[in-house]
Every structure is written in structure tokens, then in C-alpha cells.
Amino acid sequence: MVSLASPRVVAGSLGFAGGVMLYVVFTEIFSRKAFESFLEAGSSRAGAYRLATACFFGGILMTALLDACVHAIMHWAARHQHHRVAAHAASQAALVAAAAPQQQPAAAGEVALSMVDSSSRGRQLAARDASMAGCSGGGSEKDLESGEGSGDSRDSSSNSRKPIMVTRGQGSGRSARWVNAGVGEAACDIAPGTVASAEVVAVLQDDPHTRDMLRMGIFTGLAIALHNIPEGLATFVGALNNTKVGASIAAAIAIHNVPEGICVGMPIYYATGSKWKGFLWGSLTGMAEPVGGLLGYVVLHEQDPLSFGIVFGIVAGMMVYVSVKELLPSAFRFDPKDSVVSTSVLVGMGVMAVSLVLFTLLNGNVGRQTWEWDPEAGTPEERARVEELRAQFTKNRLTQKSSADELLRMQCEGRRRLGPFTVPADGASGSSAPRADTVAVALRNGMSFYEGLQADDGHWPGDYGGPMFLMPGMVIALHTTEHLEKVLSPQHRAEMVRYLHNHQNADGGYGLHIEGTSTMFGTALSYVTLRLLGVGPDAAGMAEAREWMHSRGGAHHITSWGKFWLAVLGVYSWDGLNPMPPEMWLLPYSGWTGIGWAHPGRFWCHCRMVYLPMSYAYGRRATAPPSPLTEALRQELYPLPYGQINWNKARNACAKEDLYYPHPLIQDVLWWTLYQAEPLLLGSRLRNRALKECMKHIHYEDENTRYVDIGPVNKVLNMLCCWLEDPDSEAFKRHLPRLFDYLWVAEDGMKMQGYNGSQLWDTAFAVQAIAATGRLAKEFSSCLRNAHDYIEKSQVVEEAQQPLSEYYRHISKGAWPFSSRDHGWPISDCSSEGLKAALTLAQMDSKLVGPPIPTARLEDCVNVILSYQNSDGGWATYENKRSFEILETINPSETFGEIVVDYNHVECSTACITALTAFRRRHPEHRSAEISTSLKRGLKYLKSIQRKDGSWYGNWGVCFTYATWFGCEALAAMDEGVANSVCARSAAAFLLGKQRADGGWGESYLSCQDKVYSQLPGDKSHAVNTAWALLALLAAGYHEVDRKPLDAAARCLIRLQEAGGDWPQQHISGVFNRNCMITYANYRNIFPIWALGEYRSKVLGQK
């Protein structure tokens, strides 16, 4: 049975498809890809525009010529068919005339036909076949184009519409079927719901005239197949430009192909009586489109920008021709009064525009956190309080260096739904165990306060600052691109100045991070940033900073990253840098080559994503335009005249305060060799090829992270490179608004964060913490529902752009990122914590917390987690370990440790183990053997890295306390505790040996850099360290041996809690790369709640 949609639906679909294609051409393919490809190939802007325009009209001409060929073929076939049918009809007419006297009426129950004579019928069918062949692009037959046989003809001649009515049987069983056999009417003009009965088909097959329809259908199919090749090319190029665009073009062409398929299939169906043959031939015509795609692949396989420009321009013209000459005319043929076509075209454009916007923002900005200046915000009293908080921080800045995120807390006042609750003063006094009611009230107080900080989209925003070298890079890049004042308002710049003044050390210098001792890296970059932000050389603190630098030899003793930024600014010579040759991206990747093991694609992703744009800028010697300010800085930064600095010697000069990772001899030999070769590479064809390769990877990173990028350093570096490539490029413009994703404001000023936030990480922990409070969590079900929504929307549900291997990317589908879906980089421990949070919520009442995430998506996450495991059983961060640890000998940073290879970590390994065990409990049937093997290998690895004193070293938190909590959680997940495990007993003994007199723990960040446990000064414990230790002892089951140490820890946490339910911001608690600390503002709420919730359940027996 053949049934077609209504003409209005078909017309609207074709108009919609035309709108999609036209919008894509003029906003993406022609204006961006063709034009930018010619620019990349070396053309000037005017030349690129001329070339793109020439290729555009060339594409139109090529398609018009192809269309003319197709119509010529179809016209010849139609004429040949017409002559054959006319000759046969004449002979049949003579036979009919001779037999007329002997004709008998049909017997009852036999088929009777009411129709015109055979010759008329032959003319109708032949004309109809001809119109079928041209139904999608205007008639191909000359007389049809002139209107002689068009659907507008209403005369009663033999060309008029003639129905064939078939009756079957008699009486009430009689049925009628109508087949439009009007001359000149296209097959796609059959009325909706029309059915060709078997009787009609049989009659048509018995007539010799109709057998030629088979040949007509085949000719039509061949012509349309030829016509489909440029459409396949258009789809390939669109997908190459943007997968979303490619999908839209494919959908548009699919709509357009429906009537084309009918044109081929219907005559074959009527000629053969076989629906499958009609369907098969109609489908085969579409197979020409992959041929067009293959043609595009062959032409563009070498990634040559000139070829890209030519093909993009030609395809743009082809797409416009197809839209204007085929899609829209076909649409108006179905809707001559234009009741839907024009509107559909505009709707198609609008939908395409929205889809492209959504492609840049995958989940509607969920998780994005930015600050805006509003001069009218708040009451006079609130504004006065803000100033009071700022003044208080400045007063205590040398003793309390971490901000308390007070501005966020002020902004959230009034959002609290419950509380505050008064915690009984005697419930946690003395040395006795805390009372159950006291713990419950403290938990309700803490959770109700923390619920008030939750954002509307379900995540918890918070300060993720700390490093002092991040904001200077952004300011230098904006100054270099001449966008500093365009992007940063006076208020932004004022708050940045406040931040830098607040974090200047007493000796006049600045640290690597806010709590660190002074370094040349921190001091020189902070000084330069203040000057670029408008602070004069004689302002408060500036002379002291200069003195600090000069007394240590001057700014040329800064680390390599600092040298790079000063060179970009133009206040340091590029000759004073150790080489960062972009040619390293052209090395073979394969390990069998030997050198492939040192390919940057094997580096830890943060390392390669920083050195990728650095090598591009180095290869181009990118330098800001000279100005009076840069000339002044050349005098201020150095204790000797700028012209007298020995730049070759300065390459390896590094202040002792900065030298955390000294260069080994082999590295110095390597840099000297490359330094000698650099004059030969600079400006060479090899260098130009390498620069193009770098930009290919930079654009890939930008597009796959919606211009957020993996971190703040490569974010501003990529932005700078896009500007260097083309100051007016769309890529550079898209970078600018995403800078604000990294900026955070607190009472200490505006800082640049170490990521675009820690949204998913904090939210996943918060869910587990609140759920650990048992029945108390039901009071906060709306909070959990919102968090559940954020976790669901933040999961990565599709892979990055293919091919992943070409861009050295790991699989992503099913993972969770650290921050937001727009960021999208998958991480092993974030995926694991996201999975555990999803599983925790799935066990709760869906009426309270929302429906669970589908199991298939959780299985995708398990797949990612399993794929992360390395051969030794451990898990690293973003990817597998791709090379050998000996590569660390070429770590050129001086400041950071263990950055070249993606190392295994106890935190990542534990998160993966605990996630897999949690998943296995709920879904024991899924990959059970594989998961069991993975868990055994993982536990073996964790035991192998436990230190002799029972601790584990923390890579992402401070430090031994944090890592030992993770280690104990992994042991517990595998049913090991103090009762049956030497490892668990050893870990518990280590922690108990560090417990302080007030029952808590307090570990300094110095543990991270020195790799030896260091106590915080003073006698007051740290709430976060205490919570980690308590969670570790509970996981190990130590409360079953001796609960007193745990009672003391719980008392400590309750006493540290503030009256409103918050906990105080104390010393910094996060770390990365051994030596740089970072703030996790939400930890002070999450982990005390979690620890007290577990204590209440396991020790006090309260569910």
C-alpha cells in the first residue's frame, strides 16, 4: 500500500529544509569556513573574500551544468518513451476498432474498467512518467515546463485529469480506488491516502505500454543519483565544519529526497507490481550521496587549507543552488498559494540558528557561574557591610589568607528554607560522647545553611581560587590583543587590584599561591599585572615588590612560564627562553618509532594543552606592540639596563625560591641543542606547517569545550593564539565572553579560578554527604532533587568530535566532568563520584528526589571508568598513562612536579573502585567478571602504594589525611577493615597518631610539597582535615575497636560549627602538581556534614 503525506506537510518540510540550508551556507560554510580557510592558506582578507566568492559562484555554475545534464537525460528518456507508447497505442487502437462488434459485457465479479481509450491512456501514462522524472526540481519535459501538461490545466481534452475506477464484486462489498493518471501530474501529486489497488496494477502490467515505465524509472533513478553526488559532498563538508551542521544538512537533504525517491519508485512499482522493487530502486538513488562524501574525503584528506577553502566555497554555491532551484520550487508546487512555504523557510532558519547556539552551550548554561557589576544592588546597609568585610579581610590578610566567600553568603541570605537551629551547648561538652540529639541538630543546622547556598540549577557555587599566576596571564593576553579595557570594566580592574594588594606578602613579594612564601614567578607577574591595570610604580607596595625582585637578581630569574608571559608582553627577549618548538607536534606518535614515546600527545592533558599554544606563540615570536608602559617595565623589572642582560644565560636562570624541580643535565643539553637550531627553523616551511598543526589542535580544544578550555592557563593562551592567527576571527570573539567563567569575587577581591569552577565535583560530594545523614535527608529532598537535576544534565552524553585518536583524546561518553557540561573534559574520579551520587539518589524515593538517571547512561559511565584503568591496576586522571615516567626529566616548568605524564593517584583509584562496587551492588549482571577483575587489580595497586607509616600521599588535597581517607574507603568497599586487614589497621594507626588535643586534625599544605606530614601552627584543628580523618576511621571500622577517638572528632566538629550552621574558612585544603595550593570553599560544609552523618549512623546507631 502506498500512502503519502498531505501537500501542505510536504511543502512545509521542503521549505523548512531550504531555510536550514540557506542559513547554514551564509552563517557557517561561506562566511566562516571558506573565508577563514583562505586566510589560513595565506591570502589577505580581501583576497580571501574574492576567492571564496569565486568558488561560491563556481559551485552554482557546476551544479547548474550538472542539473542541465540530468534534465537532458530525462528529456531524452521521456521523448523515447513517448514515441514507443504512441506507436504501440496506434496499433492497439486499430485492434480495438476491429474487435468492437464482438465485445461482450463483463461478467459479475470480474474486473470492469471505466476509462478512456487505450491510446489516450497511453498518452496519459507516458506524460505522467515524464513528470515523475522531474517532480523534485521542476519538470524536465519541455511541454511540461511550458505548462501544457501541468496540474493547472483544467480543460476536458485528453490531457485532463482522468480517473481509473476499479470495482470489485457487487452490492455492499463494492469498493472504489482512485489513481490519478492525469497527464503532466507528478507522482508526488497523488492525493493523500490514495491507494493503488492490486487490480489496477494487474491491468497496467498486462498492458504492453506500461512495461516501458520500468525503463523510465531506471533512467530517472540514474539521473537523480548523478544529481545526488553534490548533495553528499555538501553533507560531508557540513559535518566536517560542525557535526551539528552536518546533521542539519543531512536532515534537510533527506526531506528533499523523499519526492525524488517517489519519482523513481512509483513508475517501477506500477511497471512491476512490486513495492519492494520500487522501494529498492528509490533507495539506491540515495546511495550516490555517500559517493559525494567519499569524494570530499579524498579531496580534503591532506588537511590543506587551500583545498578546504575551495571545497567549502564550491559546496556553499551548490547548497544555494539546490535550495533555490530545487527545494523551494518543489515546495511552491505543493503549495502554490504560499500558505506555509515562506513561514517554513523562516522557521528552518530560526531552528538552525537556535541549534547552533545550543551547540555552543550544551545544557543551557547549567553550572555556569559569573559575576556582574550592579551599582544599584543591595541596600545602603548591605553595601556598607560589604565594605566592612573587605576592610576586615585587609586588616587580617597576613594571618588569614583565604577568603571566606562572604559575598556569596551575603547574596544567598534569605534563601534559607529552614533554621537556623540552636545546637545545645552541653551536647558536645567535656570528654563524653556527643548526644544524639546534639548531632542531629548540628546536622540540620549545617544542611539548612548549606542548602541556602545552592544555585537554582542545583549546583553549589564557590571560590576555586588560590594560585597567583593565573590572572596575570589573562591580563597580559588582553593587553596584547588590545582588549583589556574592552573586556574588563573599571570595577573588574579595581577588584583585581584589590586582590593583588591583599595577597602581597610582608616581604613585598608574592607567592605561587595565596598562602605560599614569595617567589619570582608570583612577584614579577603580579607586579606587571598591577602596572597593566593602571597602578603606578610609586603606589603602595610597588617599591617593595621591585626591591624583592632586584635583590634576587631581577625578573629574568623567573621560571619558564613567567619568562614566556614577559616575552609576550615585550619586556623579556624571546632569546631568553628555552625552546618550545611547535615542530614537536609533527613527530610520529607511534611507539615503535622510539621518538613517538615523547610525542606531546602522550603528555598529561593539562601539560600538553598548555605547551600546545605556548609552542605556537613561541614559534611566531608573538609580542605585544611596544608602548611607553612596556618600555617603563623594562627598566623597573631588572636591576641592570635591559640591553645588558645576557639572554642566553638567562634561559636557565631561576631564583632559588622558585626552583621546586631543577633541570637535570640531559634537559639542559636538549634545550641547548634546540636553541642552536631555532634560527634555522624560524620562518621555515617546516615551522609554518607546525604552526598550522598547532592551530588545528587549538581550534579542536576550543570547539569541544565551547571555548571554556581545560583550564585557565590554556584558556587565555588559546585565546591569544586565535587572535594571533586572525584578530577579527570568530574564534577569538567567542573566547572573550568565556573569560568571565573563570573570574570569582570575594571579600579579598577578584581572582581567576583554577578551573571554571568545581561544580560537579562539589555537587556529587554534597549529595553523598546529605544522604549519609539518613532520615534527616528527607527534610532536604528539594535540595537533593535540584542537585540530581544538575548531575543528570552535567553528564557527558556524546563523544568529542571525531576522530578522537587524531586529537589524542580519550573516550568521553558517559563520563562526568569536574565542573560543567560545557567544559566537558572527562575525569576518572569525577566520573566515579558522579556515578556514586547518581546511584545514591536512585536508591531514594523518586517522588522526593526525581527519577533516576537511565541505567544505560550509568553503564556508559562504567565503560569509561573501566577504560581508564592502567596496566598496573591504578587509575590516573583524564586519560590512561601513555608513556614512561622517565619523560619527567624533560619537565621544563621548574615550579611544578610530575606534570608530563598522567600518573596514577590514590584518589582516582579509590573513586573508581568505590564507584564500581556501588554499581555492582545495584546491577550485578552487568560486566560482572570484568568489574571483579578490575577491582582486584585496583585494590592490589592501592596496597602497593601505601606508605610504610600506613598513610597514602594526597595529590589533590592536603594531604596525607585526605589520601588516607580515600585509601580506607577503597579497603572498605572491598570488605577490608581493621578487623581483617593489616592495611586498614596501619592506616588507622597513622591517623590516630596525628590526632590533636582538641580531638581534631590540622595538616599544613607543607605536607604536599615536602611529602612529610606537617601540623598546622596553633592549637586549633582544621574542620576539613578532621572530617576526612573521622570518615577514614569510620570506613576502617575503628569505632568497633575504640569509639573514643571518634567521639572526640565529632565533638571537635560540632564545636567548630558557627551558630548559623556554617563552618569557618581556615587554611587552604586543595593542591595540584605537588606545589600549588587551591581553595575548595565548599569543603568546609560538605565534609563536616558527611562525617557527622556517618558518625550518627555508625556510632550512635541513628538511621
Residues that are catalytic: 829
For residue 1097, give the nearest of 1050, 1042, 1041, 1045 by alpha carbon. 1050
DSSP structural state of residue 800: P
Contact predicate 227/70, CB 8 Å:
yes
Spacing of C-alpha 355 from chain mean position: 15
CA angle 679, 682, 687 (to 5 degrees): 135
Write the single-letter amino acid at 361. Answer: L
Give the amino acid at 111.
V
C-alpha cell at 638: 631588572
Bridge partners of residue 180, in order along the sequence? 163
Amino acid in the structure at residue 352: M
Helix/strand/coil percentages in the chain, nearest 5: 60, 5, 35
What the block records as the C-alpha cell of 901 is 605524564
Query: What is the Cα–Cα distance from 1014 to 1007, expressed in whole angstroms?
Result: 5
Please report which helix (H) or strand (E) contains residue 363, including its range.
none
H or E, element range at 304: none
Question: 538511621: which residue's cell?
Answer: 1103
Closest CA to 585 of 722, 694, 670: 694
Q: Supply the DSSP string of 100-154, one letter for each residue.
A: GGG--PPPTTS-EEE---HHHHHHHHHHHHHHHHTTTTS--SHHHHTTTTSTT--
3-state secondary structure of 241: helix
Kindly report the backbone phi and psi dihedral angles of residue 905, in degrees, each rounded to the nearest multiple of 5, phi listed first. Answer: -140, 150
Residue 132's alpha-carbon distances to 138, 182, 273, 984, in angstroms, are 10, 12, 17, 79
Q: Would you call 116 exposed, middle or buried from its count of C-beta atoms within 10 A (0-12, 13-18, 19+)?
A: middle
Q: Which of 924, 965, 943, 940 is nearest to 1049 (CA)?
A: 965
Contact 749, 496 (CB under 8 A): yes
Long-range (24+ apart) CB contacts under 8 A made by 418-425 are: 418/444, 418/448, 418/451, 418/779, 419/444, 419/445, 419/448, 419/449, 419/1061, 420/445, 420/448, 420/449, 420/1059, 420/1060, 420/1061, 421/445, 421/448, 421/1061, 422/1059, 423/1054, 423/1057, 423/1059
Beta bridge partners of 428: none
Nearest-angstrom CA–CA distance, 1056 and 286: 71
Q: Tell me 157's DSSP state.
A: S
Distances, alpha carbon 323 to alpha carbons 70, 319, 328, 432, 703, in Å = 17, 6, 6, 81, 28
Q: Is the peptide bond before 420 cis (omega within 30 degrees of 0)?
A: yes
Identify the three-state secondary structure at position 1062. Answer: coil
Distances (CA, A) of 758 to 459, 622, 793: 9, 32, 15
Cα 936 from chain centroid (whole Å) = 33
Residues 6+ apart with CB under 8 A from 465: 514, 744, 746, 751, 752, 753, 754, 1078, 1079
Q: Which of 743, 874, 760, 899 is nearest to 816 (CA)?
A: 760
Output the nine-digit C-alpha cell for 296. 570530499
